[in-house]
């Protein structure tokens, strides 16, 4: 999805921003929004730089859009799950997967339009941390194997697929034979395309074209299919490699790595060229290397070279359709009432592990003790409020303060109160405290329980105004170089838009 959006950004940035916000919102309705934000950040920063669109006008709207999308389903956020569980424990009918998707979709569409059209103009230009890092450009070769889908096709078709920024300087065929990149040139197996670009773009081209940046080498130690990573590493003054000739270093035998290119103050040395092999390494030289996960981890610990960028696993695209199919089943079974969500999720994880989409160690690391304890403690807090009569007392106090107000105003004020609280304390705590109070208020007034429970759920999800309101807000703040005031400037209007729209929809739907 991110790759397709990156292509769209090259064509129409304004429409691409709206498409990105929509994609982030839809995905967040079924997945944790933190990995979605992590995945989207580098893509958006690169796309904004290429399209001359300020990155500060993109990252914050994208982060807030994922919060909107998470409101739409029972599994969208832990807040939703908590509210549904607490309400069911108190005797209310349990919400199904998509019971409140329609009001969120109606209000969220207005919120996304605001984020796409108005919010970017409200945010001052901020210098992102990545803007301070020089964009190192490397010369590298993309090798096309025998089974590559572009073998036998014209070069023009391959370049169209890669995008307008993709430029081929030469094509190496066989040993030392270089061809001009004419559009009608037929691609043959084993051809190597000489390209020049940044590391993120080289990764992108590698994934899009199904190519490789190195030759297939079975003799490289620790080299396993699907575990390769790219990394930028710098030579330091204290390194034993300082002032050594690059070609004299046994990279494959000693480090399990292969050098793809070199960048220094004089420019770029091409991959496979004599100049690269005879270059004497100097402090501050930057190398583009590829190797296994274990080898690059060892390189980090050894101190031989300084790893500059967060290494990125090359994507296992052959597993992507299977992982997507399992994810669809995880959502579909509880959506149609065939399995509870907790059973469907657990079976889905086991299927992911059995099919090789996920390993056991990664799955166990995804379990956060802190998150589990917060949820358990929140449920206990909500239960205590009910058993001690605290919820009834707070509900009566609330009714006394709002004496004489019509039901829709009571609903609106409850949602607004939750929106204020969730931007100051944990949204899970706000939801668990608010749910029994909302049920008590509805019962005292003789009104249906569902709209008041939904008011608490929606209000607790309006975490738009402060960076500490939600973990992805802090993530976006750091990546985009934002200030506290930027969240307030964009978040308050968005909160008011969502609050007003959701209040109107609930009031009309339940005839309050």
95-119 pLDDT, tens per residue? 888 889 999 999 999 999 999 999 9
CA 441 from chain centre, in angstroms, equals: 38
Sign of the dihedral defined by the CA atoms of residues 454, 487, 42, 165, in that order = positive
Distance CA 116, CA 133 (A): 27
The pLDDT-based confidence of 216 (bands split at 50, 70, 90) is: very low
pTM of the predicted model as reported, rounded to 2 decimal places? 0.66
The answer to whether the CB of 32 falls within 8 A of the CB of 68 is: no
Among 415, 406, 424, smallest CA distance to 454 is for 415
Q: Is the pLDDT at 382 greater than 50, yes or no? A: yes
Distance CA 119, CA 122 (A): 5
Place of tokens 């206990």: 380
Q: What does the DSSP 8-state code read for residue 95?
A: P
Q: Is 508 exposed, middle or buried (0-12, 13-18, 19+ CB in 10 A)?
A: exposed
Q: Is the pLDDT at 258 greater than 90, yes or no? A: no
The pLDDT-based confidence of 50 (bands split at 50, 70, 90) is: low
Residues in the chain: 512
Distance CA 448, CA 408 (A): 12
The pLDDT-based confidence of 273 (bands split at 50, 70, 90) is: low
Q: Is the pLDDT at 472 greater than 70, yes or no? A: yes
Q: Is the pLDDT at 276 greater than 90, yes or no? A: no
Sequence-separated (6 or more) residues with CB below 8 Å from residue 324: none
Average pLDDT of span 13-18? 82
Q: Is the pLDDT at 336 greater than 50, yes or no? A: yes
Place of tokens 């190597």: 192
Lowest mean pLDDT among 213-227, 338-352, 391-405, 471-485: 213-227
The answer to whether the CB of 41 falls within 8 A of the CB of 48 is: no
Q: Is the pLDDT at 288 greater than 80, yes or no? A: no
**Tokens linked to 161:** 């697929």
Average pLDDT of span 128-157? 73
Sequence-separated (6 or more) residues with CB below 8 Å from residue 105: 72
Name the more confident of 377 and 354: 354
Q: Is the pLDDT at 225 greater than 60, yes or no? A: no
The answer to whether the CB of 233 falls within 8 A of the CB of 138 is: no
Distance CA 12, CA 410 (A): 44
CA 363 from chain centre, in angstroms, equals: 18
The answer to whether the CB of 99 falls within 8 A of the CB of 343 is: no
Q: Is the pLDDT at 436 greater than 90, yes or no? A: no
CB contact burial 282-291 (16+ within 10 A = b; e otherwise) = eeebbbbbbb
**Tokens linked to 38:** 């992590």
Distance CA 430, CA 338 (A): 31
Average pLDDT, the chain: 80
Q: Is 67 exposed, middle or buried (0-12, 13-18, 19+ CB in 10 A)?
A: buried
Q: Is the pLDDT at 454 greater than 80, yes or no? A: yes
Average pLDDT of span 261-280? 66
**Tokens linked to 387:** 């058993």
Average pLDDT of span 193-201? 78
């Amino acid at each position: 999805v991110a790759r397709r959006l990156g292509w769209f950004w090259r064509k129409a940035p304004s429409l691409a921003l709206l498409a990105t916000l929509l994609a982030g919102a839809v995905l967040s309705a079924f997945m944790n929004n933190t990995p979605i934000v992590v995945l989207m950040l580098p893509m958006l920063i690169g796309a904004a730089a290429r399209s001359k669109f300020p990155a500060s006008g993109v990252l914050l709207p994208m982060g807030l859009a994922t919060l909107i999308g998470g409101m739409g389903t029972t599994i969208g956020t832990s807040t939703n799950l908590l509210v549904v569980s607490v309400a069911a424990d108190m005797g209310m009918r349990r919400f199904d997967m998509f019971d409140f998707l329609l009001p969120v979709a109606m209000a969220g569409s207005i919120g996304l339009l605001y984020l796409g059209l108005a919010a970017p103009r409200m945010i001052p230009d901020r210098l992102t941390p990545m803007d301070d890092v020089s964009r190192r450009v490397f010369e590298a070769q993309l090798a096309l194997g025998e089974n590559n889908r572009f073998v036998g096709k014209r070069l023009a078709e391959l370049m169209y697929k890669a995008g307008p920024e993709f430029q081929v300087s030469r094509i190496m065929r066989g040993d030392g034979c270089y061809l001009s990149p004419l559009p009608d040139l037929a691609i043959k197996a084993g051809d190597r395309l000489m390209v020049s670009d940044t590391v993120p773009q080289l990764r992108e081209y590698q994934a899009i074209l199904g190519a490789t940046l190195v030759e297939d080498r079975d003799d490289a130690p620790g080299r396993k299919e699907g575990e390769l990573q790219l990394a930028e590493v710098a030579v330091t003054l204290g390194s034993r490699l300082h002032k050594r000739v690059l070609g004299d270093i046994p990279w494959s035998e000693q480090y399990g790595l292969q050098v793809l290119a070199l960048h220094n103050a004089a420019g770029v040395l091409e991959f496979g060229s004599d100049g690269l092999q005879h270059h004497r390494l100097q402090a501050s030289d930057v190398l583009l290397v590829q190797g296994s996960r274990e080898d690059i981890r060892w390189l980090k610990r050894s101190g031989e070279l300084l790893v500059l960028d967060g290494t990125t696993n090359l994507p296992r695209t052959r597993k992507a359709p299977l992982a997507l199919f399992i994810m669809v089943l995880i959502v579909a079974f509880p959506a149609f009432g065939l399995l509870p969500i907790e059973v469907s999720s657990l079976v889905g994880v086991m299927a992911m592990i059995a099919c090789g989409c996920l390993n056991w160690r990664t799955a166990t690391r995804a379990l956060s003790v802190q998150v589990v304890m917060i949820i358990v403690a929140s449920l206990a807090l909500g239960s205590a409020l009910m058993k001690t009569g605290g919820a009834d007392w707070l509900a009566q106090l609330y009714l006394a303060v709002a004496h004489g107000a019509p039901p829709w105003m009571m609903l609106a004020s409850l949602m607004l109160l939750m929106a204020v609280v969730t931007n100051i304390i944990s949204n899970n705590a706000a939801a668990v405290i608010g749910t029994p109070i909302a049920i008590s208020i509805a019962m005292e007034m003789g009104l249906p329980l569902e709209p008041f429970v939904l008011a608490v759920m929606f209000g607790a999800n309006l975490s738009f105004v402060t960076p500490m309101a939600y973990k992805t807000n802090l993530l976006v703040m750091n990546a985009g170089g934002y200030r506290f005031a930027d969240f307030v400037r964009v978040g308050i209007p968005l909160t008011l838009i969502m609050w007003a729209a959701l209040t109107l929809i609930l009031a009309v739907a339940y005839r309050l």
